[in-house]
Structure 1
């Protein structure tokens, strides 16, 4: 299995186009661009799957050699997209994939319904390409020998969804290479570390956690805007980091950093980082 972080920022990226906060100013000065959260995974190095498709997907694919098209004229190693939320910063990139001959999209029934009605991305995309929209169910087996398990971790609706029904709004994914046994957990939108989530990550080789905020009051401290991290559906790093010590065989890193989060270090994912390199 190979896992490549294509984008490591929360919505808006860093630097954000309209922001002059310290993190964005430093990012502009130092050329440290973080694009919006998307990850690519493969079991065999040939068939690649995207975990979410953020607005920066075109840039991310173009700068990732493994995702280059060929040898056929419109042949691409990108076989599909697995959506963990219905948020705009995780789904708008699907529109940038409309030139594909065929797109396979995996999502919960809740997310699919929202993207068919409240924000009709599914019918819009279907006017441009052949859509294969499938339920993101436990035990899903993908090309290249990837076994997918899903856990509902949150029920927070996107703002546009209003009173759209459903419960499975936010998912964590665990992907396992059926040949090597290596496994990776993707949970960049995690509102709480529940016992179920603790069981879900047990035995994983790598986990990419929610790094949106460092503390629960970060947004208010840095911008003056009201709202806590957990009220926005994000467990702060200060709360999740102590939990990771109970899994000595697992490597935890943080992605989906908001532009208010100045964190750096070995446990902070950056664009282009490879987390697993089984071949």
Structure 2
């Protein structure tokens, strides 16, 4: 299984257009919004979430570009972890695809109904909650009931899931969990035996957003890295990689103590474009 990290930042990317914090103005290598591409055969690709940056991400990734026919594309579908806009808005950019299957939790599909009606006008999209990807085995773990801000009411959850994706041909296992409000029941089992865990690295500490007037991290649906690091240290089997990193997160600075702490715990902070073969 091939895995390409198309984007590794949280909503807004880094730098974020409406932010003048130290990290956004320090000239760090830019990161686009979180999105991953996976393939069992290197020919057909599936997206894990679909960021607003998807057009640029596709054009920057030769394996995802159109061809060899003038309108042939290698994309075969999209798996959404939730209904957050920074994870789904990219579907609008893919409207020329003529329709793709999209998998998401039932509650997320319900919240996305107005959005879906727009996308459906451009082709035969299908919206599913039971995941079935040829050549790969996918297990789904509900991880929280965090609703998007635009959907304060709606059906019962789960609203957010994590995915465990296995290539039966190689035994390679990827876990994709960019939005963890806690370390939920069943998560240890989900990551057991995994080769690569892409873990929520949105915020480093619980008070991180206080400096820019934002809410606390748990209210936003993200377990801070300080709470995850002890668990990572105690579970050295998989390769742990933090993704969905917010523009305020000090780990983005490679000279920071926080960055060093992540590496010391055995985790990585891979940049956009990083590729794995599992």
Cα distance in 1 for residues equivalent to 2:214 and 2:120:
39
SS of match in other structure, 1:181: coil
8 Å Cα contact 1:74/1:101 also seen in 2: no
Alignment partner, residue 55 of structure 1? 52
In the TM superposition, residue 177 of structure 1 has moved relative to its aligned partner by 0.2
CA distance in 1, matches of 2:240, 2:80: 21
Gaps of 5+ in 1: none
Aligned-pair distance for 1:226?
4.8
Tell me the secondary structure at the aligned position of residue 159 of structure 1. Answer: coil
Is the CA contact (8 Å cut-off) linking 2:105 and 2:160 kept in structure 1?
no
Q: 1:61 Cα deviation (Å)? A: 0.5
SS in 2 for 1:99: helix
- Residue from 69, 72, 75 that aligns with 2:72: 75
- Give the TM-score normalised by structure 1: 0.92
Whether 1:171 and 2:137 are equivalent positions in the alignment is no
Q: Measure the CA separation in 2 of the matches of 1:226 and 1:84.
A: 23
Could you tell me whether the CA contact under 8 Å between 2:99 and 2:122 is conserved in 1? no
2:235 to 247, 256, 260: 247
Give the corresponding residue for 1:7. 7
Residue 127, structure 1, aligned to residue 121, structure 2 = yes
Q: Does 1:216 align with 2:206?
A: yes
**Number of residues of Structure 1 aligned to a counterpart in Structure 2:** 265
- In 2, the alpha carbon distance for the partners of 1:16 and 1:141 equals 35
For residue 39 of structure 1, the aligned residue among 36, 42, 45 is 36
Give per-residue Cα distances to partners, 1:143-170, cap 9 Å, x unaligned: 3x11111111010110111211121211
Corresponding residue number in structure 2 for 1:99: 96
State how far apart, in whole Å, the 1-side matches of 2:172 and 2:238 are.
Answer: 11
Q: Please name the residue that 1:65 is paired with.
A: 62
Work out the CA distance in 2 between the residues paired with 1:269 and 1:158: 27
What runs of 5+ residues in structure 2 fail to find an aligned partner?
none
Matches within 5 A, 1:181-200: 181-200=171-190
* 2:19 match: 19
Root-mean-square deviation (CA), in Å? 1.3
Task: Kindly provide the CA deviation profile for residues 35-60 of structure 1, in whole angstroms up to 9, marking residues without a partner as x.
Answer: 11111111111111000111100000
TM-score under structure 2 normalisation? Answer: 0.92
Off by >6 Å, runs of 4+ in structure 1: none
